Amino acid sequence: MQIPFEPQLFGYNINIHLVLEYLAFFVAFRYYVFLRRRSSDVISSNNRLSIILGAALGALIGSRLVGFLENPIIDFSQQNIIQLLNTKTIMGGLFGGLLGVEFVKKRIGETESSGDLFTLPIILGIFIGRVGCFLSGINEFTYGEETSLFLAMNLGDGIMRHPTSLYELVFLVLLFIGLKYIKSNRNLKNGDLFKWFMIFYFGFRFFIEFLKPNVFYVLGLSTIQILCLICLLYYRKTLIPRKK
């Protein structure tokens, strides 16, 4: 199979990344519904719906905003505006969704943690989306820098690069298995599963970004890495619990 993978249907090239992106949303949501039916959700259906809407709106805004900050444009031409509207990132979506949820919960007076039910479906959705990123090769800005490492791959431009999407796929499998084991065998407080997902995933992304041809703006860090540090600071009480 050649990368980028561009299958044809009735003579038209199929955007495999876009197909898998929509599939990721569908499968993740169906998995969430499956898990909610099998669990005793302490949050009412109405409040849960409000939380989902808050998460969706926050994710939409966050993904676009961080996507723009990764590569801000100066020339507001028609082509650049179209590119800006299509730019998005899962990191901004996750953190924006988190802020959207917290805002909605305060508005509706919901005090229970709401993230645990979303955790495993989110990982599954990211996994499917990353398969699309890998198959898209250099057509998606998720590829790695040139390397002579034995894991290097030609992602479509003839240069042997870090297959960072594959690295992330392996990490996501391990993260899914690990968190599922913890959920089944440890007595976690409500909300802790989601917190540890965010800590592990944002921590992983902080380091993997060094293998990508990013633009580093502040202190040698990219926008994504700065967001990772903000997220880890947000969860500082989980990372460094206070002594009783």
Distance CA 126, CA 171 (A): 11
Residue type, 154: N
Question: Is the pLDDT score of 62 beyond 90?
Answer: no
Q: What is the pLDDT of residues 198-228, one digit of tens each?
A: 999 999 999 999 998 877 777 888 889 999 9
pTM of the model: 0.88
Binned at pLDDT 50, 70 and 90, residue 75 comes out as low
DSSP one-letter string for 40-63: --SS-HHHHHHHHHHHHHHHHHHH
Domain range list for the chain: 1-42+113-223, 45-111
Report the candidate in 231, 236, 190 with the shortest Cα–Cα distance to residue 42. 190
* Residue 161 β-bridge partners: 146, 153
